[in-house]
Structure 1
Amino acid sequence: MFRKLTLTAWSLLIMTAATGAQAADPENTIYLETDQGRVTIELRPDLAPQHVERIKTLTREGFYDGVVFHRVIEGFMAQTGDPTGTGTGGSEYPDVPAEFSDYEYKRGTAAMARAMDPDSANSQFFICFTDTGCSFLKGQYTVWGQVSEGMEHIDAVERGEPPRNPSKIVKMTVAADAEGAEAAAE
C-alpha cells in the first residue's frame, strides 16, 4: 500500500514538473527567442485586447523573426519591432487605436511604441529594464504584456541608438503554436 502511494506521489510530481514548463495560458503567452536566449511574455488582453491581437497576428506571420533591437537605452528600455531597423518602420496593417491603462510600469513591462499621435502604434514595442525607468510613461503608452521569464536576456541586448551590433529577435512564437508543434512531433 505504501509503495503504491509513493509511486503515485512520484508520478504526480513528475507530471506536474513536466507541465510546469508549459505556459499557463498558451494562447496569451509569447516566446521571444533573442540571440541571447528565450524570453517569455504573458500577454494582457484584459488591458489591451486590440494590441494583443496585433502582436499575436504579427508573431504568427513571422513578422518579428530576425528584427533587431534598434533603440536600447540603459536604465530605460529596449525597443524592437521595426523591420527596417531604423525606428521608422512598421507593418502593412493600419495603426491600432490607443488602449492606455493605469498599469504600473515595472521591470519587464512590454508596451507599444508610437509616434506623437496616441493612435499610431503599429508593430514596434519596448520592454522596460527597471521598475522606475518607465514609470513616467503610465497612461501614455499601451501596455500589452509582462515578461515572466528570461528578463536576463533582455538585459543582455546591445545598448545604443542604434546599437553598433544590434541584438535581434531570432524567432517569436505564440506559445499555443509552439506547444502544438511540440506535441505533434512527439
Structure 2
Amino acid sequence: MLIPFIFISACGADNANESEWRTLDLNNTVLLTLPQGKVVIELAPQFSPKHVEQFSSLVQKSFYDGTKFYRVIDGFVAQGGPKDGSEQDKSVPLLAMEGQFSTDGKAPFTLVQRDDLFAKKTGFKEGFAVATNNSKSGWLTHCPGVLAMARSNEADSASSHFYFVIGQAPRYLDKIMTIFGRVVYGMNHIQAIQRTTVIDGEYAVDSREHTPIISMKLMADVPKKDRIIIEVENTESASFAERLVKRRARASEFFYKKPPPVLDVCQVPIRSRLVKLQD
C-alpha cells in the first residue's frame, strides 16, 4: 500500500489544511461498550487495510460481544478476544503482517522529532503517530491508547485477538505488530479494565473477574440517537504545528528550569472533542 509523505516542519505549515478539527468517518469508528462506560475507537484503513477490514467484519457479526480482556498487564497492554483454541477463535483467518507501509514523499507528515531512540523521524499523519527511517516506508508507533492485533511467534499469525496500549509506549513492538486504530474517547474506561496479572505473593485474579466486552459496533451501525460523534485534532493543520512548537519550548513560568527542547511523539496527546453524545 502506498502512503505518500512529505515533511511539514513544526515551525510552520504553509501548505497545511487550515481546519483545526476533523470529523471521524462513521464507517471507520467503533463504539466499544464496557461495564464501566463507552469507548470510541478510530480505525486506520489507510495504514492497515486488511486488519481493519477483518476487525470491522468481526465487529459487524458481534464476534467480540461477551468476550473478555484476559491478559491485562499494568503499565503495558490490555488484550482481549475469544478463548484461545476455541471454535470461535479457530474460525477467523490469519492475517499477513501490516507493520509498515510504503511512501513516495508527496503527502503531509507533520514532523515532531528527528533521531529518537527508534527512528530517524517521528511525527503525525491523519492523527496517528508515525515514524520513518527513509522516504520509502513508515510505520505506526506504539503510543498509549493505540489498538493493535496480537499474534503468536510467527509474523503472519494475527487473527482476532487485539490489545490496547495502557502504559508507557512499548516502542520496541513497532514494525513487528500491526497497529490499526486508536482510542479517541473513553480512555479512562480502558485504563479501568481489570488487571489480570499480579505481583509475587498476591492471589491470582479469577477469570470471572476479567472485564467483559458488553458490545462492539461500528458507529455507522449504531442508531443515530445512540451515536457518540467525535471530532479530533487535525494534525496537518497550521495550528497543530504551532502547538508542537509551544509544547517543545515549555515557555510556561512553571518550568523555572527548562527541560531540553525534546518532544517525544508519544507525549503529544491528540485532542478530541465531543460533538454529540447519545441522548
**Short-chain TM bin:** 0.7 to 0.9
User: Normalising to structure 1: TM-score of the pair?
Assistant: 0.79
Q: Which residue of 2 aligns with 1:13?
A: none
Number of residue pairs matched?
159
Q: What is the CA–CA distance in structure 1 between the aligned matches of 2:163 and 2:74, rounded to whole Å?
A: 13
**Counterpart for residue 145 of structure 1:** 181
Q: Tell me the CA shift for residue 43 of structure 1.
A: 0.1
Tell me if the contact between 1:118 and 1:140 (Cα under 8 Å) persists in the aligned partners.
Answer: yes
Give the Cα separation in 1 of the matches to 2:99 and 2:149: 10
Structure 1 unaligned blocks of 5 or more: 1-19
Q: Does 1:108 align with 2:108?
A: no
Q: Is the 8 A contact 2:41 2:184 kept in 1?
A: yes
Work out the percentage of aligned pairs sharing the same amino acid: 35
Q: Does 1:33 align with 2:33?
A: yes
Aligned to 1:16: none
TM-score (norm 2): 0.53
Secondary structure of the structure 2 residue equivalent to 1:51: helix
Return the match for 2:219 from 157, 172, 175. 175
Q: Offset at 1:130?
A: 2.7
Question: Which one has the bigger strand percentage?
Answer: 2
Give the equivalent residue in structure 2 for 1:123: 160
User: Which consecutive residues of structure 2, in runs of 5 or more, have no partner in the other structure?
Assistant: 1-20, 101-138, 198-203, 228-279
- When residues 91 and 43 of structure 1 are mapped into structure 2, their CA distance, relative to the original with a 3 A threshold, is farther
Amino acid at match of 2:174: K
Counterparts of 1:54 and 1:29, CA distance in 2: 14
1:110 CA drift (Å): 0.3
- What is the SS of the residue equivalent to 2:33? strand
Take 1:173 and 1:37, find their aligned partners in 2: how far apart are those partners?
14
Distance 2:67 2:178 in 1: 21
After superposition, the CA RMSD in angstroms is 2.2
Q: What SS does the aligned partner of 1:121 have? A: coil
Provide runs of 4+ in structure 1 moved above 6 Å: none
